[in-house]
Amino acid sequence: MTNAPILIRYHQPGEGARLGLLRGDTVHDVSQAFASLAEFFRDSCGVVERAIAAVTAAADASSRRFPAGELDNAPAPDLPHWLPPLDEQEVWAAGVTYLDSRKARQEEAVDGGDVYARVYSAERPEIFFKASAKNTVGHLDAAGFRADSSWNVPEPELALVVNPAMEMLGFTIGNDMSSREIEGENPLYLPQAKVYTASCAIGPGILLAPSDEWLDTTIRLAIRREGAEVFSDSVSTDQIKRSIPELIDYLGRSNTYPGGAILLTGTAIVPPAEFTLLPDDVVSISIDGIGTLQNRVREV
């Protein structure tokens, strides 16, 4: 499964957003087959494998190929660069899906956090809106943390990618930037803790692997400050409590996603209580088979 193709969005100066298929270290432009991610997502409804075959064939036929390293630039209109792999899609998030996450939320909560213990074992998972495209950044762009919070952390997560028919298209990497201070003060402040400018990072691309089984892989987080590593940790995806069909089922209940959706699936990597992000820290999240999502952080 981890040898599946990776679909990316990128910016080309003078042309704007384009689609490409990443194979190894080479990008194959496929914009001639699909003008946007939303178009690909909609065309895949009911025929996911056929749609993936079509984008793969477009990559085979493409005469426009270049090293992926050409995109390794901070976003600027006159430079090619990575874009987040979403256009019309909303980003949602599932919370307290790992035991370690439940423990961390209870520790930060001023009232003991019994609500987190209950949702971890409840039939219905916690699912909340995280970001639209305007608040989402891609690989090598700057992610944001709240200026009115003194305790801010990244949350590295495996993300599910679904089409408008709520069918799995694949996986990507997400960073659910969060204020532990604000959410810990009162769980009802969760939208303020998690939804703000540049609060979500997604990328570098979508692993086209439409499976109902979790990737057998490891999520790794590393944070560097002035060139030195100040925190790192990892977790296996086999620690996720919920199943993929279960999370997608609840995401789709009483809701529609005309362009598809991305669902962050929770975190088990929690920096210690004395840690908070500072401006210009570099956050790197790596998942075998997908790649690395790297973002410098800034105060917003």
CATH number for the domain harbouring residue 239: 3.90.850.10
Residue 277 lies in a domain: yes
- Whether 106 has a pLDDT exceeding 60, the answer reads no
Together in a domain, 74 and 99: no
Indicate the range of 3-7, 13-17, 254-258, 270-274 predicted with least confidence. Answer: 3-7
28-40 confidence digits (pLDDT tens): 999 999 999 999 9
What are the C-alpha distances in Å from 214 to residues 37, 48, 119, 210, 241?
23, 18, 21, 10, 11
pLDDT for 107 equals 59
CB atoms within 10 A of CB 219: 25
Together in a domain, 132 and 276: yes
pLDDT for 110 equals 55
pLDDT for 120 equals 86
**Domain range enclosing 16:** 6-83
Confirm whether pTM is higher than 0.85: yes
Note the Cα 137 to chain centre separation in Å. 10
Residue for token pair 């009911």? 46
Instruction: Provide the percentage of residues in the chain whose pLDDT is more than 70.
Output: 94
Together in a domain, 187 and 283: yes
Residue 1 lies in a domain: no
Return the higher-pLDDT residue of 123 and 117.
123
- Count of domains for the chain: 2
- Please state the rounded mean pLDDT for residues 62-78: 98
pLDDT for 144 equals 99
230-253 confidence digits (pLDDT tens): 999 999 999 999 999 999 999 999
Of 58, 83, 108, the last residue of a domain is 83
What are the C-alpha distances in Å from 44 to residues 76, 127, 149, 172, 212?
32, 25, 41, 17, 16
- Whether 1 has a pLDDT exceeding 50, the answer reads no
Together in a domain, 222 and 198: yes
User: What span, in angstroms and rounded, lies between the C-alpha atoms of 47 and 45?
Assistant: 5
Phi/psi for 6 (5° steps) reads -115, 120
pLDDT band at 54 (very low <50, low <70, confident <90, very high): very high
pLDDT for 102 equals 53
Together in a domain, 155 and 34: no
pLDDT for 115 equals 81
Is-contact 71 294, C-beta < 8 A? no
